[in-house]
């Protein structure tokens, strides 16, 4: 059992490049697990946690409805955004500058074998982080992610989540709006849920900008505590390419 997690901060990175990078790490862990079973070995599997910001992009989960993207390919080009149908759960999500995206690529057999618990702990990480800023965030029954003012006409989503898992290895993750341009959410039905608003941390705090690295540090602190894990290596923020 290995509860050490390598933290990698990728900076601003193209979505497809990052997706391929995730897939490579995901496959690396799966290959070790398959080899261990086939050859009766006991090689430790690594765990990774990627932090990244993406240029404007819309992604649609494997069970999502393409109609939840409300604009054409021509309009996507006009607003300098891309679109991908991907292999995670959930419906449509937007990523863009000012949003912290986290991709934990974990072998859950190093921690616990319960996907429901995994998602709830990811939500709890965000709830605790927002509490550090004086915000009362909650889960919304039947809806993955983190919300404010749940159960009121003013309910609004601040963090989306969608994961994939195979043989207890995870990929994809969460997207927390920190200083996001909320206008980009107007071009979709967020997570396929009609009639619900989206918000960002800076809007809730009434600030022009919230320090991204500060929020990221709080997320990581809560993540490591909740998973009873340790960070073995933390790379400096990579320069955008």
**What's the pLDDT tens digit per position in 198-218?**
999 999 999 999 999 999 999
Give the C-alpha separation, 165 to 155, whole Å.
29
For residue 234, what pLDDT band results from cuts at 50, 70 and 90? Answer: low
Per-residue pLDDT tens digits for 162-190: 899 999 999 999 999 999 999 888 888 76
Q: Check whether 240 has a pLDDT greater than 50.
A: no
Strand bridging mode 99-105 / 169-177: antiparallel
Tell whether 116 is covered by a domain.
yes
Is the Cβ–Cβ distance between 174 and 159 less than 8 Å?
A: yes
| Threshold 0.75, pTM exceeds | yes
Total number of domains constituting the chain: 1
Tell whether 240 is covered by a domain.
no
Of 183, 182, 185, 161, the residue nearest 173 (C-alpha): 161
User: What burial class does residue 51 get, using C-beta atoms within 10 Å of its C-beta: 0-12 exposed, 13-18 middle, 19+ buried?
Assistant: buried
For residue 114, what pLDDT band results from cuts at 50, 70 and 90? Answer: very high
Tell whether 146 is covered by a domain.
yes
Tell whether 149 is covered by a domain.
yes
Annotated catalytic residue 159: no
With residue 33 as reference, give the H or E element that holds it: helix 15-39
- State both tokens at 76: 């996507």
Tell whether 239 is covered by a domain.
no
Q: Would you state the pLDDT for residue 198?
A: 92
From residue 66, give the alpha-carbon distance in Å to each of 51, 162, 196.
Answer: 27, 16, 18
Tell whether 241 is covered by a domain.
no
Domain that holds residue 37: 4-234
Tell whether 133 is covered by a domain.
yes
Catalytic residue among 10, 191, 201, 215: 191
DSSP secondary structure code for residue 14 in this structure: -
Is the Cβ–Cβ distance between 84 and 19 less than 8 Å?
A: yes
CATH number for the domain including 163?
3.30.930.10
User: What burial class does residue 94 get, using C-beta atoms within 10 Å of its C-beta: 0-12 exposed, 13-18 middle, 19+ buried?
Assistant: buried
Tell whether 170 is covered by a domain.
yes
Of 234, 229, 233, the residue nearest 106 (C-alpha): 229
């Amino acid at each position: 059992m290995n509860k050490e997690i390598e933290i990698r901060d990728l900076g601003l990175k193209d979505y497809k490049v990052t997706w391929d990078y995730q897939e490579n790490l995901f496959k690396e862990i799966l290959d070790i697990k398959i080899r261990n079973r086939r050859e009766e070995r006991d090689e430790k599997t690594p765990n990774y946690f990627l932090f990244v910001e993406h240029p404007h992009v819309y992604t649609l989960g494997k069970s999502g409805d393409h109609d939840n993207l409300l604009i054409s390919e021509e309009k996507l080009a006009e607003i300098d955004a891309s679109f991908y149908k991907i292999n995670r759960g959930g419906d449509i999500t937007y990523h863009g500058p000012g949003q912290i995206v986290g991709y934990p690529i974990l072998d859950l057999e190093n921690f616990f074998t319960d996907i429901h618990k995994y998602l709830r702990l990811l939500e709890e990480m965000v709830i605790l982080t927002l509490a550090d800023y004086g915000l009362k965030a909650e889960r919304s029954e039947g809806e993955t992610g983190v919300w404010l003012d749940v159960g009121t006409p003013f309910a609004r989503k601040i963090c989306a989540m969608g994961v994939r898992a195979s043989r207890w290895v995870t990929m994809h993750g969460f997207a927390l709006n920190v200083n996001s341009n909320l206008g980009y959410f107007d071009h979709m039905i967020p997570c396929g849920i009609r009639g619900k608003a989206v918000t960002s941390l800076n809007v809730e705090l009434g600030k022009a900008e919230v320090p991204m690295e500060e929020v990221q540090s709080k997320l990581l602190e809560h993540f490591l505590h909740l998973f009873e894990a340790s960070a073995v290596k933390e790379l400096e923020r990579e320069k955008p390419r």
